[in-house]
Amino acid sequence: MQPPRVRCERIHPTLRVRDVRAAVRFYTERLGFALAFELPRFAGVELGGAQVFLEEREGAGGGGAYFVIDDVDALFALHRAQGVAEGAGLVDQEYGLRDYAIRDMDGNGLAFGQRIARTHDAQD
């Protein structure tokens, strides 16, 4: 049986956190996300229309999400000013994105990238 052809409108990664209220503060105050909703052990934060769910659970961390955005330099500057973007910094990758990665307070990996024009060597 062939799988049905479906169109995915949106995907919401769910990241495990130790304390949902502390995670919401971290995402909104230090990472530039906006609060979408908050329940006792579950919350949603968003960045540029992309929403991430934060779920309070044991065994926090270990998840991740990659955001393709339109101004990676500006967001990197904010993250650097907030002390959360240290290390290698922005890198133009061979796969056509200029990106960087950080970790949230629970160890979840977050990467932010912007599409860049790729140049190909002329072939004779």
Query: Structural domain boundaries of the chain?
Result: 14-115
- The per-residue pLDDT for 123 is 47
- Residues of the chain scoring pLDDT < 70: 87-88, 118-124
- The per-residue pLDDT for 121 is 47
Q: Which residues pair with 53 in a beta bridge?
A: 14, 44
On whether the CB atoms of residues 99 and 93 are closer than 8 A, the answer is yes
Residue with tokens 């270990």: 62
Phi then psi for residue 79, to 5 deg, are -65, -35
- The per-residue pLDDT for 122 is 43
- The per-residue pLDDT for 14 is 97
CATH superfamily of 14-115: 2,3-Dihydroxybiphenyl 1,2-Dioxygenase, domain 1 (3.10.180.10)
- The per-residue pLDDT for 119 is 59
Q: Whole-prediction pTM value?
A: 0.88
Interatomic CA distance for residues 23 and 59, integer angstroms? 15
pLDDT, one tens digit per residue, over 44-57 is 999 999 999 999 99
Rounded to the nearest integer, the mean pLDDT of the chain is 92
Cα 48–chain centre separation = 11
Q: Which residues contact 75 (CB under 8 A, 6 or more apart)?
A: 32, 69, 112
